[in-house]
Amino acid sequence: MPGAAELTVRRFDWGAEEQTARFSQALVAVQGQVIEVGADWPRRVADLLAERGAGRLAFGSEAELAAELTRGWPPDSPVRLVPWAEPIETGRDRLFGEIEAALTGCRGAIAETGSLILWPGRMEPRLLSLVPPIHLVLLDPREIRSTLHELLVEQAWSAGMPSNALLITGPSKSADIEQTLTYGVHGPKELIVLIRASSD
Amino acid sequence: MPSELRLRVESGLGNGRVRVNIRRAMDHLVHKRAAAFPDAEEREGLRAQGEAIRAEALARLPELLETLERTCTGNGMRVHWAETAAEANRIALDILRAKGARTLIKGKSMVSEEMGLNAFLAAEGIEAVETDLGELILQLGGERPSHIIAPAIHKDRYEVAELFGRCFPELPYREDIEGLTAAARAVMRERFRAATAGLSGVNFAVAETGTLCLVENEGNGRLCTSAPDVHIAVMGIEKVIARLDQLPPLLTLLTRSATGQPVTTYVNLISGPRRAGERDGPSEVHLILLDNGRSRVYADPELRDTLRCIRCGACMNHCPIYARLGGHAYGTVYPGPIGSILEPQLQGLDRQGELAEASTLCGACAEACPVKIPIPKLLNRLRWEAVRPDPDAPTLAPGSRRRALPALGWWLWAWVYASPGRYRAISTLAGRLRWLAPRRLGAWTRSRTAPVPAPRPLSRLVEAEGFERE
């Protein structure tokens, strides 16, 4: 927009390794879980969910990760995969009542604050990262940037915003009673980030 | 007769339980903010940036609002302008009626408090449900927020437990905070599933891209804005900013100043309703732009700084008066230092002008403010506006607090201080008559000694020390 003073982009020169370390540290500080995974990550997801007694994992049926997930999913897993393609009008009750976990991709992450960037849309509905009690996110560490400022300038967000863009930093929480932090209020109770090993 | 404000202050000071709860919370928040800005240089750099961004937005307010309307409309939102709270309520009602909504789920919004939306909708047969944990507690108890960020901060867990036990007898009685939070989740879940309409406030609106930015921790705000079929966003017209790249500095200032968090759990950027092919999200997004007196504030170049506010609440956390009283004593939607400059301007100096007097002008608020609003200076300005009989003054009900006796007193004071001779004569006289000074001055002398004029004025003592008179 013309007439407005230019801002210096607030960013930090952290190397790739430090960036990932800082991201993990910041996210863990707000009760997020970070797990490094290899090519067999669908199996890891299946194990994690089985441990938690979750019965159904939803994912965007047209999401980028969909093919890899279904291909790598252990056939003997007690957790059922639910490719999610239903409009909310018909899927509302199932989403609120039956889905214990959802897996989404992300559009990057912020090292400074441990935040994930999601642009939900046609491939991945926005409620997937919100309604199920467990939210898993697959992250390529090469997508991590030092600050939000750096990331949104680099990805040229101002050229066109999606209907919904999100920063997610940890599971939902509240401190409304006596300023005491409690996790798992209205959004997910658990946020698990799967960082793909850089050798991938 | 003591004013309503004084009566509320009396009762606020007398409520030991509330005082303990508020003080504990404020000390905690002050400490957390300090820890969130470990580097003073970085903090001051960010504050200067925040001030510049907000000042620029206000300098271009009419233009940016028009751009915002254009970009939001281009994104598929419907933009409504409301001159008054009553108009905004009517617009919201019409939207809900058109959708056939009987219930409205609400994320936390101070502007909706300003509108008195819940009571208005109730009278029209529509139930407004507060979904933020703090706001839910208040709605159940029939109370109003006492803090703009932590609305139920005056209550402790036992009061909440008692309230939940009464309102949700079907749930097991719990006194632990985790249990109470779990109860709120259980109760609200069905509300989120079933609602057809949701309402939220707006933290920042980006003119460049037509984007509404909402920050929150609980997820209720996201649920209110993405689960129902219609989303109504209400915002004061001052919340607009020019560009998207101005958002990151403001966001970090907001969350660090408010609660000491580097970022909230969710930052929710909404640029329109569900698009073709998307499977969820509201099919309608309405933005209601509320003026409610803000244009008048905008018209004065000095008072305009009031509108820079990003509603972080740091001024109240740092205010020695707020920390001892809590928000209810102010009797307004916005309490604390920011409320004391905003409310007299929105509601009129006749109705709320006394708030500007309820300050020691210590300056803690201005020091904490992330966008450097000179609150003490504006308090002073409003004190002046309240007693200056100028019908063309830019405020509402200027001069309405002018009283004959204090006015005469100040006139005399000015007359004396305007001339060295008169000042000398009066101070010498005061020294001679010092035995007449009262020894008791109401509550002030209950724990203090009354001030007595010195036998010899300072100017004489200085002369006696051999200093030149200048």
Q: Amino acid identity of B19?
A: R
Same domain for B6 and B60:
no
Q: What are the pLDDT digits (tens) for B262-286? A: 999 999 999 999 999 999 999 999 9
Residue B182, chain A, CB below 8 Å: the answer is: yes
Q: Is B182 helix (H, G, I), strand (E, B) or coil?
A: helix
Among A180-194, B11-25, B81-95, which is the least confidently predicted range?
A: B11-25
Mean pLDDT confidence for A79-104: 96
In a domain, A164, yes or no: yes
Residue B60, chain A, CB below 8 Å: the answer is: yes
In a domain, B411, yes or no: no
CATH number at residue A58: 3.40.50.10420
Q: Is A80 helix (H, G, I), strand (E, B) or coil?
A: strand
Q: What is the pTM of this model?
A: 0.94
> What is the distance of C-alpha B4 from the center of its chain?
20
Same domain for B87 and B11:
no
Question: What is the dihedral sign for C-alpha B35, B39, B41, B47?
Answer: negative
User: B200 pLDDT exceeds 70?
Assistant: yes
CATH number at residue B59: 3.40.50.10420
Q: How far apart are CA A54 and CA B253, in angstroms?
A: 39
Mean residue pLDDT across chain A: 94
Interstrand relation of B211-216 and B127-130 (parallel, antiparallel or unpaired): unpaired
Q: How far apart are CA B185 and CA B182, in angstroms?
A: 5
User: How many domains is chain A partitioned into structurally?
Assistant: 1
**What pLDDT is attached to residue A5?**
58
> Which residues sit opposite B269 in a β-bridge?
A165, B213
In a domain, A8, yes or no: no
Same domain for B359 and B249:
no
Å from A131 to nearest chain B CA? Answer: 8
Å from B227 to nearest chain A CA? Answer: 7
Same domain for B233 and B374:
no
- Partner A, chain B 183-212, Cβ-Cβ below 8 Å: 184-185, 188-189, 192-193, 207-211
Residue B35: exposed, middle, or buried by beta-carbon count in 10 A (0-12, 13-18, 19+)?
exposed
In a domain, B408, yes or no: no
Å from B221 to nearest chain A CA? Answer: 9
Residue of A nearest to B284 (CA): A163
Of the three residues B402, B435, B453, the one that is the final residue of a domain is B402
In a domain, B265, yes or no: yes
> Are B245 and A113 inside 8 Å of each other by CB?
no
**What pLDDT is attached to residue A200?**
44
- What's phi and psi for B2, nearest 5 deg? -65, 145
Same domain for B386 and B333:
yes
Å from B160 to nearest chain A CA? Answer: 8
Mean pLDDT confidence for B414-421: 94
Residue B305 has which token pair? 């700084």
What is the domain extent for residue A62?
16-196
In a domain, B58, yes or no: yes
Same domain for B164 and B62:
yes
Nearest by CB: B150 against A112, A125, A176: A176
Same domain for B171 and B310:
no
**What pLDDT is attached to residue B462?**
86
Same domain for B67 and B13:
no
In a domain, B300, yes or no: no
What pLDDT band is residue B461 in, cutting at 50, 70 and 90?
Answer: confident
- Cα atoms in the Cβ-side hemisphere of radius 13 Å centred on B24: 14
Same domain for B340 and B258:
no
Mean pLDDT confidence for A139-149: 97
Q: What are the pLDDT digits (tens) for B150-162? A: 999 999 999 999 9
Residues of B in contact with A4 (CB under 8 A): 56, 242-243, 246
Q: What are the pLDDT digits (tens) for A63-79? A: 999 999 999 999 999 99
Interface predicted TM-score (ipTM)? 0.96
In a domain, B364, yes or no: yes
Mean pLDDT confidence for B454-460: 85
**Nearest by Cα to A128 from A90, A158, A86:** A86
In a domain, B339, yes or no: yes
What is the domain extent for residue B120?
37-292
Residue B265, chain A, CB below 8 Å: the answer is: yes
User: How many domains is chain B partitioned into structurally?
Assistant: 3
What pLDDT band is residue B470 in, cutting at 50, 70 and 90?
Answer: low
Mean pLDDT confidence for B356-375: 97
Same domain for B254 and B331:
no
In a domain, A1, yes or no: no
- Partner B, chain A 49-108, Cβ-Cβ below 8 Å: 84-88, 91-93, 96-97
User: B2 pLDDT exceeds 90?
Assistant: no
Q: What are the pLDDT digits (tens) for A15-56? A: 999 999 999 999 999 999 999 999 999 999 999 999 999 999
User: A8 pLDDT exceeds 90?
Assistant: no
Mean residue pLDDT across chain B: 95
In a domain, A68, yes or no: yes
> Are B137 and A170 inside 8 Å of each other by CB?
no
Mean pLDDT confidence for A110-120: 98
Of the three residues B265, B292, B319, the one that is the final residue of a domain is B292
Same domain for B343 and B441:
no
In a domain, A172, yes or no: yes
In a domain, B225, yes or no: yes
**Nearest by Cα to A190 from A40, A54, A70:** A54
What pLDDT band is residue A137 in, cutting at 50, 70 and 90?
Answer: very high
In a domain, A187, yes or no: yes
Nearest by CB: A113 against B67, B263, B278: B263
- Partner B, chain A 105-164, Cβ-Cβ below 8 Å: 110, 112-115, 121-122, 125-127, 130-131, 147-149, 152-153, 157-158, 160-164
Same domain for B222 and B78:
yes
